[in-house]
Amino acid sequence: MDAAWIQVFVLTLSECVAPAGKTVCQESAFELQFLTRSDCEIALEQLTALKNESDSVIVDASKSGCAPAARQRAVFDSLEAINAALGDKQGLRVVRDEGAEPSATQASHQERLARLKTCEETDGVAPCKVGDIIVEAAAGDPVEVWRRD
């Protein structure tokens, strides 16, 4: 097993969040890592759109974006070498090519997503969707949506 550096893209989202009825928000930022720039940019667009729909969140576009970076990772010669290094842990499998057919779970998700209304259309009553995310109500209870007074 050798070590190598791989390119990743780091999505940074800078936001200021205020609870309902408050005029002061707390600034925070978080980062996510992606293997491709396009995945990072799609996630940034969806997160920004989702956050901008909220009355209590302000996204700072000048501090948000996708930037190339690198991470050090272990490099193995084969799946057998990976599984041997993992010992008694569950083994790994080969990741499918990006052009491959979607799994049954992904296809089911996309079908259900196409049938649902947006959360804006249902006034936050679940089930509904925000972009590619399906919002489910816990135990049939309505989803609480914060609004600025």
Distance CA 145, CA 58 (A): 16
**Does residue 28 have a pLDDT over 80?**
yes
Distance CA 94, CA 108 (A): 22
Encode pLDDT of 114-136 as tens digits.
888 888 888 878 788 888 788 77
**DSSP-assigned letter for residue 38:** H
Strand, coil or helix: 84: helix
Exposed / middle / buried, residue 96 (Cβ in 10 Å: 0-12, 13-18, 19+): exposed
Encode pLDDT of 32-45 as tens digits.
888 888 999 999 99
CB 3 within 8 A of CB 74: yes
Strand partners, 69: 8
Phi and psi torsions of 38, nearest 5°: -65, -40
Is-above-0.85 flag for pTM?
A: no
**Residues of 13-38 as b/e, b for ≥16 C-beta within 10 angstroms?**
bbbeebeeeeeeeeeeeeebebeeee
Place of tokens 């893209």: 9
Q: What is the residue extent of each domain of the chain?
A: 1-88, 103-138
Nearest alpha carbon to residue 93 among 103, 104, 79: 79
Other C-beta atoms closer than 10 Å to the C-beta of 6 total 11
**Does residue 63 have a pLDDT over 80?**
yes
